[in-house]
Structure 1
Amino acid sequence: MTGPRVAVAGVHGHGASHVRNVTRLAAAGRAELVGVADPRPGGDLPSFTSLEQLLQATEVDVVIISTPIQTHVPLAELAMRAGADVLLEKPPTASLAEFEQLSAVVAETGRACQVGFQAQASEATLKLAAMVADGQLGEIRGISATGKWVRTAKYFQRARWAGKRRLDGVDVVDGAVTNPLAHSTAAALLLDGSTGVDDVRSVETELYRANPIESDDTSTVRITTSRGTTILIAVTLCATEHLEPSLIVHGSEGDAVLRYASDRIGETKYARADLLENLLAHRADPAVPLYVPLAATGGFTRVVEAVRTAADPVEIPAESVRWEGEGLERRPIVLDVENWIDRASDELALFGELGAPWTGQSPRENS
């Protein structure tokens, strides 16, 4: 027994982890890795320079797509129209229009499209979502997400699309909120039970950058869901040190802190399901639900759309930035950014409302 035939499009960067995962399942006789597609293919696997060539050459049941953001929709559509189910890396699309286009292809073809928000397959995330829904934390004042990450010049030079809002006239919408720390927003929406495209009422953005890039690297975003919950995202790629992201549910009966990268609520660690295994189980029995079907990323895509249509990120003044390192290891540190992120999280407020020095705004009253 070899299991479903799986191909991987995009094998560098995060794509390499998908190749390892399929190889793991293949060793257990649960899948067969039949080829990879990448303009720079490598390794001993059957390799093709495009997904189109791969699909023409061999039969494929599942395609994993871990390619640049702006290629997600055409490649996912190509795979589904060829009869394959898809595991699509996040963010699934660069715009709401693309999301609607891809949703239509899913409906037309009847294929499964699972999106790579692996934190949503964590028992910790699902446990906390159930606690919120059951009222165990009392009345919810809001949900916040904090991300304090470090990224060097090497990160933004790894690919042509990195750090870009548009490339060759096509939307990319890279940035701290929509790509590296996208899990924070998606998981926060899941905790509120507001994952659908109609579950988001409004999105306010404040986008800043310390790096010489187009996209944001230090931002606050405030989401109001259709049920009236305030979700505040406060993130940076310009922190003093790299810390694990946190999600905080602020309840009248107490706060709960989720660290989704390590599957912890407080100090309790939970298990996490594998998204590819879940997709394969769904293929075998459609009664097994997907953890992250495309439709469950509609709320997140509303946030992507708000970032896409927002004004370009504002450059953070030099006096608020300290630079460290040389060459590819050079990176900016936004001064005291951790304190401002914590305040934004606690007060569910945007950086400008708090009067963070790089915003040029005065603190609002009672912020």
Structure 2
Amino acid sequence: MSPPDPTRVALVGALGHGLRHRRAIASLRERGLARLVAVANRRPVTPEADAPLDGVAVFDDHRRLLRESDAEIVVVCTPPHTHLPIARAVVESGRDLLLEKPPVVSPDEYAVLAAALARTGAACQVNFQSLASPALARLGAAATRGALGTPTLVSVAGAWWRPDAYYRRSPWAGRRAVDGVATADGALGNQFAHAVMQCLAVAERVGGPYRIDLVELERYRTRDIEVEDTACLRLTLSTGVRVLVAVSVCAAEFVYGDLAVHGDRGSARLEFPTDRLKLPGDPEFRTVTGRVTMLENLVAHRRDRAVPLLAPLPVTAPVVDLLGVLHAAPEPVPVPRRHLSPHPDGDGQVLTGVVDVIRAAVAAGALFSELGVAWARPAYRATPGPTAGPPAPPHPA
């Protein structure tokens, strides 16, 4: 039997992060799995050596692409506040969908998209690449065997640098809303969204299904923006597990996103970008092989619906719930300038000592304000309502 023809893929949003998708599709074409047949972008799209456009139809509007292309899967890589109308148009046209993270920006939008998927039967994969980590499955299996005992805390520490120019890159950057539509920018909603999603996925793998009983949130900004560039988030789950996320994009020192899981019998560390895992008793980190891309998984699912998606829309519901909390929360607290210092490379200020604060927070499972940090303020507390969507399917092993 001859192998199936490559799956026909279209891309909406082909520049910026969209170029990464073009490169990923080109890589799948070399393996005979998928080929790019159309792109839609408002600005002109040019070919790259590793992302050619030979034979690819180019449109300036996604509606024309959907009318005129024969794509089977459409990748949507546009600003988050534009996802819902484009995603609905894709699934209502009969295509399957790979949707950039976060999938939508509010629980209300989630309900609309979930209903469209249920009505059309289309598949939707959300591009939370961290959920493709084979180390995540290995960690879940170890927890099931009791290697950690009763889990108590899942934490992640992240410290990056984003210059002031980063917030001038697009009209929605650093904004809470554009034309009355909520966005999803900010350290928690955008830059470290993968870390938040991974913490929630790990919490389910080690502690079982949960609801979020309490959100404690501290948001700070060091520049003239409407969203947080530094944050601490603590979730209390119905299983008794707590999740602590401490992050900043105002750091001179780089910490990618160190995830730790603590139980009463031991602790584990997961480097989800590198698929390295350290379980209790391991002398050092071990690399877990076998990662596939989200698009590769979606292609396999389209060919055989028995192949489970790695990140179907319901798995992302807790993240969307948290976005709802972020939108309802007070404005981020400005950090006084006396706590800032020029970044060594220029174009912005770093928050002095923020990496030490982040590490102390995850070590103690504490909020910044509980550590006596001079610029910290008491947390905003909320209980999110569940998204109106179908229950999440079991995660693949």
Query: TM-score by structure 1 length?
Result: 0.94
Superposed CA offset, 1:168-199 (max 9, x none) = 11100311011111111111111111799973
Say yes or no: does 1:78 pair with 2:89: yes
Instruction: Tell me the CA shift for residue 96 of structure 1.
Output: 1.0
What's the counterpart of residue 49 of structure 2? none
1:357 aligns with 2:360: no
Letter in 2 for 1:14: H
Question: Partners in 2 of 1:361 and 1:244 — Cα distance?
Answer: 26
- Aligned residue number for residue 6 of structure 1: 9
Q: Unaligned 5+ residue runs, structure 1?
A: 363-367
In 1: Cα distance, 2:224 partner to 2:356 partner? 23
Whole-angstrom distance in 1 between the partners of 2:62 and 2:271? 35
Deviations 1:35-91 (A, max 9, x none): 111111312442111111111111221001111010111111110000110011101
How far apart are the structure 2 equivalents of 1:3 and 1:181? 33
**How far off is 1:226 after superposition?**
2.3
* Counterpart residue number, 2:395: none
SS in 1 for 2:326: helix
Q: Report the Cα distance in structure 1 between the residues aligned to 2:22 and 2:5, rounded to whole angstroms.
A: 16
Distance 1:41 1:270, change over 3 A: farther
Q: Is 1:61 equivalent to 2:72 in the alignment?
A: yes
Give the alignment partner of residue 62 of structure 2, picking from 22, 47, 51.
51
Letter paired with 2:104: T
What one-letter code is carried by the residue in structure 2 that aligns with 1:81? E
TM-score, L = length of structure 2 = 0.87
Pick aligned residue for 2:323 from 304, 325, 346: 304
RMSD: 1.9
Counterpart Cα distance in 1 of 2:25 and 2:17 = 13
Give yes or no for contact 1:196–1:295 (8 Å, CA) kept in 2: no
SS at match of 2:250: coil
Shift of 1:325: 5.8
Identity rate, percent: 38
Q: Measure the CA separation in 1 of the matches of 2:168 and 2:344.
A: 15
Q: Which amino acid aligns with 1:320?
A: H
Instruction: Tell me if the contact between 2:233 and 2:245 (Cα under 8 Å) persists in the aligned partners.
Output: yes
Q: How many residues align?
A: 360
Q: Residue 161 of structure 2 aligns to a residue in which SS? A: coil
Q: 1:303 to 1:130 in 2, by over 3 A?
A: farther
Q: Secondary structure at the match of 2:233?
A: strand
Stretch moving more, 105-114 or 238-247:
238-247
Picking from 45, 48, 64, the partner of 1:42 is 45
What is residue 344 of structure 1 aligned with on the other side? 361
Match of 1:208, as an amino acid? Y
Which SS does the other structure have where 2:269 is aligned? strand
Q: Deviations over 1:299-337 (max 9, x none)?
A: 1111111111111111111111112367xx512211111
- Given that 1:5 and 1:59 are in contact with CA atoms closer than 8 Å, whether structure 2 keeps it comes out as yes
Match of 1:234 among 225, 246, 265: 246
Q: 2:289 aligned with 1:278, yes or no? A: no
Structure 1 moving runs of 4+ over 3 Å = 194-198
CA deviation after TM superposition for structure 1 residue 361, in Å: 6.1
> C-alpha deviations, 1:99-158, integer Å up to 9, x for none?
111111111111000001111111112211222333211122211111111111222111
Question: Would the aligned equivalents of 1:3 and 1:31 in 2 still touch at CA under 8 Å?
Answer: yes
For the residue of structure 2 that corresponds to 1:164, the secondary structure is: coil
Distance 2:317 2:145 in 1: 24
User: How many Å separate the matches in 2 of 1:197 and 1:94?
Assistant: 23
Which residue of structure 2 lines up, in the alignment, with residue 330 of structure 1?
347
Per the TM alignment, residue 274 of structure 1 is displaced from its structure 2 partner at its CA by 0.9
From 7, 22, 25, the counterpart of 2:28: 25
Q: Which moved more, 1:64-73 or 1:298-307?
A: 298-307
CA distance in 2, matches of 1:2, 1:89: 25
Given that 2:208 and 2:239 are in contact with CA atoms closer than 8 Å, whether structure 1 keeps it comes out as no
Partner of 1:146: 157
Work out whether 1:215 is the aligned partner of 2:234: no
Question: Is 2:252–2:343's contact at 8 Å kept on the other side of the alignment?
Answer: no
Distance across 2 between alignment mates of 1:164 and 1:129: 37
Greater shift after overlay, 317-326 or 190-199?
Answer: 190-199
Relative distance call for 1:196 and 1:265 in structure 2 (3 A) is: closer
Give 1:355 deviation, angstroms: 1.7
Structure 2: segments with no counterpart, 5+ residues: 47-52, 279-284, 380-397
Q: Work out the CA distance in 1 between the residues paired with 2:59 and 2:118.
A: 29
d(CA) in 2 for partners of 1:128 and 1:157? Answer: 39
Contact 2:164 2:347 in 1 (8 A): yes
Q: Distance in 1 between matches of 2:215 and 2:145?
A: 26
SS in 2 for 1:357: coil
Q: Distance in 1 between matches of 2:21 and 2:107?
A: 26
**Structure 1 stretch displaced more, 235-244 or 73-82:** 235-244
Instruction: Name the counterpart of 1:318.
Output: 337
| Number of the residue aligned with 1:365 | none
